[in-house]
Structure 1
Amino acid sequence: MADDFNLLSNDAFRDRWRMWLQANYPEEWRIPIIYRLAGDDERRWHRMTYEAGWRAPAWPKEYGGLGLSLEKQLIMHQEMEGHNCARVLDSGAVLLAPVLMKYGTQEQRDRYLPPILRGEELWCQGYSEPNSGSDLASLRTSAVLEGDEFVINGQKIWTTLAAYADRIFVLVRTNNDVKKQAGISFVLADMGTPGLTVRPIMNLADEDELCEIFFDDVRIPAENLVGELNQGWTVAKALLGDERIANGAPSLSRQAFDVLEQLVDGIGLTEDIGQTDRMAQLYCDIHDLAALHAQVADAAIRGEIDNAGLGLMKVLATDLFQRVSDELLNTAGEDAGLRTPVGIGGVELDLRKIYMIARPSTIYAGANEVQRNIAANMLMGTTAK
């Protein structure tokens, strides 16, 4: 492989990545939307890409990544989508790593980045709490500094893939006597720490990938604090920016639309004017979202973070995913509620499950209703953040 993929033309780079996927990607994982890599499968994928030199395309080379341009990162995503690759969350590499690179100590970077890169440690995100989801700053999980340890008590909920994670990055309240955003800290914890309990939650798609986590006098080293004490809100906002770039991508909408096209063709509705009009609108919206996503991601890489734009892009992407999944059910008619692959129109996917996966998308990473309010306040020049 080339030492610097950025020296390859986009076409040459695309061919190189596509050939590797075709030769190495497991067939049993080629279930778009429906399947998400977790646990041993996710570790296997990270090891495969690491050993082949494809791991961490967005990381700077100094940390072992590829240091790819935005164009080539998008090409990798496009080819994975075209190859019907399964979803993968990769919270360690995508969410935590950029935070450690910016706010972490050298010791923290040396300790945590290499195992993430090699696929040896999986991470989950401890943000949302009961009664503290979209209003994240109202969180109540506390961390009290006792000597050289934090003692954590509280609860997190809707923690994705926590049952498979080795470690967790957590927002905790470390000061109750200041403005709520000012008294939050960002800390790291081992999932095997005494007092930390994970309880899976079965979701609407019959999956247990969401969990609630209980902290009962959980003791972690004070050196696990990332950034300054009581300044975790600044760290959290940076991480949420990265998360919303990912959640604002058109991938799920596009994959669901591909299923819709197969279904419409298979049951002979390609000449139905109402059907074609609705599909044409969805098709245009997907392409508009793809163009917006490329612009926002490019600006973010240049350090020009527009929080209002990030929030609105996430709103558009998740609303669109739901609209495509709605159209899938409308088109499937009486077969839409089957709990098994529908077996109509040449489609062998569980359409009900696609619909169920789309439902919570407008809630995670900040509910769309809240995101609209935040964006409106920002764009109108208020002080709300």
Structure 2
Amino acid sequence: MSTQQDWNALSDEEFRRIFRDWVEENCPKELRFMRKQRPLFDEVAVWYHNLARKGWLAPVWPQAYGGMGLNPSKHIIYVEEWARMGCPRIPDHGIGLVGPLLLQYGSEEQKQHFLPRIISGEHVWCQGYSEPNSGSDLASLKTSAVREGDEFVVNGQKIWTTLAHCANWVLLLVRTKRVEGKRQEGISVLLADLRTPGVTIRPIPNLREEADFCEVFFDNVRVPVANLVGEVDKGWTLAKSVLGHERIFLGAPARPEYALTRLEALAEATGAFEDKAFLSRYAKHRLDVYDLGSAFERFAKVLRAGGDLEADVSVLKIFNTELYQRITEEMLEIAGEDARFEDDLDAGEIQVDAMNLFLDSRAPAIFGGSNEIQRNILAKAVLNLPG
């Protein structure tokens, strides 16, 4: 039974306490701090449905559509406590991308049809944006959608589509008109059923031999015109809007903080703290984690005050992802020859998944806009350097 309450009327401290207490009782212990960063829907379905029954699955959706209606301040607390308590990531493209897109740009019929099915878990979504040779340069995408009567016929390929193999719907960016000049024109947003004839999904194993990503091929796939979001050829603004606050949450300090606790445990177990050289490096890592937390808080204050984030938020993702890599590299350094094992290493009362964290730290510097692209954004939009 969902709980209808004005969560924003509570103090931040009270909301944080209520959220932590509920999570402690309702998030299964065996799902906390999962080794797998991107579990499949079936693996975390019990947690997904617990959140849905409570009405806490969609933190920023209006309560009228099954969400919590949180303001930016409370949403940041939700994200912080979720990470600190080790809650598993759920397949969240429907919650974080499709829902906000439909709430802002969708028709009432689309909202009434799709939003309840996201909350129930009947529809599990993925995001069809990137293509071969159209990743960071997304406006160069080539997947086409040609209208025939009441349908669009879609042909093309998407790649790095996260968890497509356990999804049944895709938020699809397509080209509906060839244009000269500005490539952002002529792009549209479609909602496509992955069970439609002509769709082929091929998983792509990662370094840990897990299939987080997929290739998705579209061969004369028919999508109803009713599944067009917004206006035809005007989808670029919509596509960008769903990623508006992504960079601040990609810069949240949870991963480096967790990695640092594992580094500390491993150092205690191996006697590394007796080494002055290691102690010096460890002190720098700890100070960097503190600095990252301060930087995150600075941008979070802007959101809490109802402001919009500027281009300088890109520095947060760079700082976060590269710090995560440095800490996990330090783990392998002090683990020595044991670092080759993918199994957890004994570190006193806990186990340290050193190699797993090291491999996990490679991807965040690429997804969500690679760090090279983030540096270009800072150079052009903040430092006013020539392009």
1:236 equivalent among 213, 235, 239? 239
1:316 equivalent among 310, 314, 319? 319
**Residue 195 (1) aligns with residue 198 (2):** yes
Q: Distance in 2 between matches of 1:44 and 1:119?
A: 11
SS at the partner of 1:77?
Answer: helix
What is aligned with 1:362? 365
Does the Cα contact within 8 Å between 1:267 and 1:345 map onto a contact in 2?
Answer: no
Does the Cα contact within 8 Å between 2:15 and 2:74 map onto a contact in 1?
Answer: yes
Query: What is the deviation of 1:240?
Result: 2.2
Query: What is the deviation of 1:296?
Result: 2.8
SS at the partner of 1:170?
Answer: strand
Which segments of 5 or more consecutive residues in structure 2 lack a partner in the other structure?
A: none
**Residue 16 (1) aligns with residue 29 (2):** no
Q: Distance in 2 between matches of 1:125 and 1:222?
A: 19
**Residue 272 (1) aligns with residue 278 (2):** no
* Structure 1 segment 128-143 matched on structure 2, within 5 A: 128-143=130-145
Query: What is the deviation of 1:261?
Result: 1.4
Most deviating of 178-187 and 286-295: 286-295
Q: Distance in 1 between matches of 2:134 and 2:297?
A: 31
Cα pair distance change 1:303/1:167, threshold 3 Å? farther
Q: C-alpha offsets along residues 54-79 of structure 1, whole Å, 9 cap, x if unaligned?
A: 22122223322112233332333333
* Structure 1 segment 263-342 matched on structure 2, within 5 A: 263-300=266-303, 304-306=307-309, 308-342=311-345
Q: Distance in 1 between matches of 2:339 and 2:236?
A: 43
What is aligned with 1:77? 79
Query: What is the deviation of 1:100?
Result: 1.3
SS at the partner of 2:134?
Answer: coil
Counterpart residue type for residue 17 of structure 1 = F
What is aligned with 2:381? 378
* Structure 1 segment 21-170 matched on structure 2, within 5 A: 21-32=23-34, 34-170=36-172
Query: What is the deviation of 1:215?
Result: 0.4
Does the Cα contact within 8 Å between 2:173 and 2:189 map onto a contact in 1?
Answer: yes
Q: C-alpha offsets along residues 2-27 of structure 1, whole Å, 9 cap, x if unaligned?
A: 72222333333222222222222112
Which segments of 5 or more consecutive residues in structure 1 lack a partner in the other structure?
A: none
Q: Distance in 2 between matches of 1:383 and 1:228?
A: 34
Does the Cα contact within 8 Å between 2:76 and 2:300 map onto a contact in 1?
Answer: no
Most deviating of 168-177 and 9-18: 9-18
Count, aligned residues: 384
* Structure 1 segment 206-285 matched on structure 2, within 5 A: 206-285=209-288
Q: Distance in 1 between matches of 2:4 and 2:143?
A: 47
Does the Cα contact within 8 Å between 1:33 and 1:86 map onto a contact in 2?
Answer: no
Q: C-alpha offsets along residues 281-316 of structure 1, whole Å, 9 cap, x if unaligned?
A: 222222332333344345357664445234332222
TM (norm. structure 1) is 0.92
SS at the partner of 1:114?
Answer: helix
Most deviating of 288-297 and 190-199: 288-297
Most deviating of 172-181 and 236-245: 236-245
Does the Cα contact within 8 Å between 1:81 and 1:251 map onto a contact in 2?
Answer: yes
SS at the partner of 2:145?
Answer: strand
Equivalent pairs: percent with the same residue?
44
Query: What is the deviation of 1:347?
Result: 4.5
Q: Distance in 2 between matches of 1:245 and 1:57?
A: 16
Q: Distance in 1 between matches of 2:31 and 2:14?
A: 26
What is aligned with 2:5? 3
Q: C-alpha offsets along residues 108-163 of structure 1, whole Å, 9 cap, x if unaligned?
A: 11111122223332110111111111111111111111111111111111111111
Does the Cα contact within 8 Å between 1:129 and 1:155 map onto a contact in 2?
Answer: yes
Query: What is the deviation of 1:257?
Result: 1.3
Q: Distance in 2 between matches of 1:56 and 1:185?
A: 25
CA RMSD of aligned residues (A): 2.2
Does the Cα contact within 8 Å between 1:95 and 1:242 map onto a contact in 2?
Answer: no
Query: What is the deviation of 1:373?
Result: 0.9
Does the Cα contact within 8 Å between 2:342 and 2:353 map onto a contact in 1?
Answer: yes
Counterpart residue type for residue 259 of structure 2 = A
Q: Distance in 1 between matches of 2:310 and 2:73?
A: 22
Q: Distance in 2 between matches of 1:44 and 1:96?
A: 22
SS at the partner of 2:215?
Answer: strand
SS at the partner of 1:153?
Answer: strand
Cα pair distance change 1:97/1:329, threshold 3 Å? same
Query: What is the deviation of 1:271?
Result: 4.0
Counterpart residue type for residue 381 of structure 2 = M
Most deviating of 54-63 and 374-383: 374-383
SS at the partner of 1:182?
Answer: coil
Query: What is the deviation of 1:220?
Result: 0.1
